[in-house]
Chains A and B, each alone.
Chain A
Amino acid sequence: MRTVRKGLLVSLSGLIIVLLAAGTAWAQSASAKASASASASAGDSGGTFIEGTINNMSTVNPWKAIESPEYEVLALNFDLLENFDKSTLQAAPGVATSWTQSPDGMTWTFDIRPGMTWQDGQPFTAKDIAWTYNKTLDCKLGNSLDYLVPEFTKSITAPSDTQLVWTTKVPTSAPIRPPWVYIAPEHIYGNDTCDEISKEPFFTEGHPMVGSGPFQLTDWVKGQSWTMTANPNYWGGAPHISQFKVVLYDNSEAMVNALKAGEIDYTNLGSVDLFNQLQSESQSGSTNITTHVGPAVTFGQMSFNMCDPTSPDAAAYCKNNPGTGNPALRDPAVRTAISWAIDRQTIVDKVLAGYGEPGTTIVPPFSSFYHYNPTPDETIGFDINKAKQILADAGYKDTDGNGILNDPKTGQDLNFRFILRAESDIGARLGQYISGWLKQIGIATTSEVVSDGKLSQAWLSNDYDMYIWGWGPDPDPDFILSTFTSGQCGTWSDTCYSNPQYDKLYKEQQTAATPQDRQAIVFKMQDILYKDIPEIVLYYDKSLEAYNSQKWTGLEDNTSPQPDGFLWNQYTPYSALTVQLRSGASASSGGTTSGLLIIVGILGAIVVIVGIVMVARRGKSEEDLA
């Protein structure tokens, strides 16, 4: 009897499960249709352009920003004194419509655009610019302080609402780099002390983000999303879209799925594989996504330990922290041979899957005005035999026959400690390729993959021979050039390279009166580094973008820096003003839970069967089952 009751209960529950599954499936298809029709009807007339990212934003304080998404917001919310030119990234008219330099080169006069307003309606004048710059200098605020050349700036004043005067102690073209310091309204932050102005949180009820740019940050759900609303009174013209929103994702895969599902409109991908997948789908015509290979604004480098405590030119820090660098690397022949032995094109083709360019000089090509292209006869290519020849000519022979060359001064094998970053997803592969090539020319390597902490430790104590890292420099080359000065050893110098001639040239480019003068000096500096090889620039890696081209237009014809610039998140926003909806909206596809329901249905059926079996066996006694 008990078995029958149990059996019936079991069958009943099984039946319920099957009915639930069927009901859910029916409800789901109904709701999918409903949501599809809902999205078909238009929302705002201007539309919201949504970007997906995996990089979180931690502050929107214009003086404390570091991460890329923070700069993206600031670039839209605020203005700089001059815009970045759409192609050359040199100074272009913006807030400052024109400027003149005094004959002695030490006074710059800017004409400021009249009739501008802040996003809260208050008038924008040259006085705001002067206040912002002086506040930055006085409080020594932020990462962009160097752009105001505190060493050489004498005064920055606004004699009238539409004129800004910047005087310096020596001639310099720094005021038209352009200075990457966002202009903030004095009428809102004017009463803040140095501490108050850099406190967090910056964006609050009583402290709104009031700038003069085309968009204003109006909402921020920390760790999730942030929204900017269009400024219809922007001096450059109102944007077409009414809102711009950024949504934060946990990982690239989720983000790409969202893009494909129409949930977001644009993304900048870090993953080459995902990009390739999107690209092949887009080429086969199966999606509404268009992929775009953007500019190479970052580079990967292999740095050598150039700290030679015995040299009279050695940096002070190097003398105090001599470390254990292999002296063989101080021989320029060795470094030159190594450079000839690395096939940068293969690295781009295999490791970067083609999305990059072989590296040459330290100012990347996207900064087209300042990037130096080595002449054909000084260009270092890939030639194993030439590398071997250079080493042979310099006296390196394999004296013990083990396949590794020996240092003629010490008789030791040439074996270099090679450090790779664990955090980089291509670090280990790069190391493998480079070690392979070096082995072919008779140089052995001992590779290690370590965390940034350990690498920094080794780097600060000069206990390494070579390592791989990278930089994403600003368009203006001042900072990246400074990292090779002897004064930066122990701070930002990758190699503790110390060359008095180079140090002198660095000072000269800072005080060059015109950009043209400066360019000549900057070219010379890059040439020195290219020949001295304190580090090898392995590659410039390109940005990978994708956007929903079925829904949006106006991006591809306005990339910056031209040609093949970024579709979005430009140094000065151009595409942000031209992007607009195409006519018609895309319907969102609902995900199906078909697999789940199949399983549930099957399980339910099994339960029903088990119940029936239990009922059917009620005749048997317990002993028979033993």
Chain B
Amino acid sequence: MGTAKYLLGKLGQLFITLILVLSLAFLLFRVWQPGDPVATWAKASGAKLNAEQLDQIRHEWGLDVPLPRQYVSYMGQMLTFNFGTSTILNPQESVSSMFWSRMAKSAILIVTSTFAAIAIGVLLGIYGGWKRQGKVDQASMSSSMILYAMPEFVLGMIFILIFAATLHWFPVSLYESPIPKTGLSHWTDVINHMALPWLTLTLAYVGEFYLVMRSSLLDVLGEEYIALARAKGVREKYVLRKHAVPNALLPTITLVALSFGFILSGVITVELVFSYPGVGKLSVDALRQRDFAVLQATFVISVIAVLLANFIADLTYAYLDPRVRRA
């Protein structure tokens, strides 16, 4: 019962936040846009249209209606993922289809690298926090700090320089070879291309998760009930597994969920460096050409993704923290 109330509450908060952010998007992309988007598009695409034709397009894009009505229809569009048509990148192609066709590629990359980073980071963090100042901890601390200090695109470029451009172990960029392969060799080809971007993303965030888990564990290990358990003679490993780690995981999960937004931003630059044809690369191309229709979709989709990640974290929290269940 407590769980249900907790989750419903979180879902409600999520919805309110979503509405607030979408309203911000409306301000950004409709109200505060400099210039007349139709005229800009016409000049940029070289279309020699007269005033009538421009007005026609303005009507098609729904721009000739008073603002409050625009706001309502805008919210409806955003919530149903109707992002309109691309203005500059692929004129007249639907923005949502541009995204969905690339979504899977980015999703594989993000999901696998996030899980790998969490798994490795958390496990190492537990070990490092437990055996504080031990060899593993010291080595992990230094490498984590260096990785934390490195922008992910720098890491990616170093990998390209070493492993692709010089050693030729991996291809320099993209998702698959230009000659499409079939069956199993297609999948190994894809994995081959995804290897360096995956490695870059994983290493970029594993350091952070390590530090967070370690510090969280150290916090917990300093608590009184741990000292009590030890005084009672409970075995150290048991103390860890049953008391310290589960409690240390809670704030870690919260922080991991919070950093999902930053993982998304990391994906953008990594896809750029590797010319990996996912949604990140699409956003950069849209930025280069100032295609605000696509940028708007990037904004909205990122928000929804982050909110979803937070909600999943809340779900995990509810599962792990008995206090929530009992409430």
Give residues in A with beta carbon < 8 Å to B: 24, 27-28, 31, 35, 56, 58-59, 66-67, 143, 200, 222-223, 250-251, 253-254, 257-258, 261, 263-264, 422-423, 451-454, 456-457, 460, 472, 479, 492, 588, 590-591, 593-596, 598-599, 622-623, 625-626
Contacts and interface: CB of A to CB of B under 8 A. Distances in A.
A423 B237 contact: no
Contacts of B191: 593, 596
Interface string B183-200: 011001101100100000
A596 B188 contact: yes
A626 B189 contact: no
Interface residues of B, number: 52
A28 B188 contact: yes
A27 B185 contact: yes
Contacts of B288: 422-423
Q: List the 6 closest pairs (A to B, CB-CB), nearest first.
A: A595-B169, A258-B178, A453-B35, A593-B192, A457-B35, A451-B290
B106 interface: no
B237 A622 contact: yes
Contacts of B231: none
B195 A596 contact: yes
Nearest to B47: A66
Given A27-B185, A250-B281, A595-B195, A452 B290 contact: yes
Given A453-B40, A454-B34, A457-B34, 8 more contacts: A56-B89, A66-B45, A143-B47, A253-B275, A257-B178, A452-B40, A453-B35, A590-B177
B80 interface: no
B171 interface: yes
A626 B237 contact: yes
A200 B188 CA distance: 41
A258 to B, nearest CB: 4
26 contacts: A24-B188, A35-B179, A56-B91, A66-B46, A223-B101, A250-B275, A250-B277, A253-B172, A253-B174, A254-B178, A261-B179, A423-B288, A423-B289, A423-B290, A452-B40, A452-B44, A453-B33, A454-B34, A454-B35, A593-B188, A595-B163, A595-B168, A595-B170, A599-B195, A623-B235, A626-B237
Contacts of B36: 456-457
A456 B40 contact: yes
A223 B94 CA distance: 11
Contacts of B163: 595
Interface string B115-151: 0000000000000000000000000000000000000
Contacts of B40: 452-453, 456
B93 A58 contact: yes
Contacts, number: 128
A254 B91 contact: no
A472 B46 CA distance: 9
Contacts of B323: none
A251 B90 contact: no
A521 B97 CA distance: 51
Nearest to A596: B192
Contacts of A595: 163, 167-170, 192, 195
A454 B36 CA distance: 9
Contacts of A456: 35-36, 39-40, 43
A222 B195 CA distance: 30
Nearest to B287: A422
A264 B170 CA distance: 22
Contacts of B177: 261, 590-591
A28 B91 CA distance: 40
Contacts of A59: 92
Given A263-B178, A457-B35, A595-B195, A27 B184 contact: yes
Contacts of B167: 595
A113 to B, nearest CB: 31
Nearest to A593: B192
- Residue of A200, A492, A596 with highest tally of chain B CB at under 10 A: A596
A454 B44 CA distance: 12
B37 interface: yes
A479 B191 CA distance: 51
B184 A254 contact: no
B236 interface: yes
B173 interface: yes
B48 interface: yes
Interface string B276-309: 0100010001001110100000000000000000
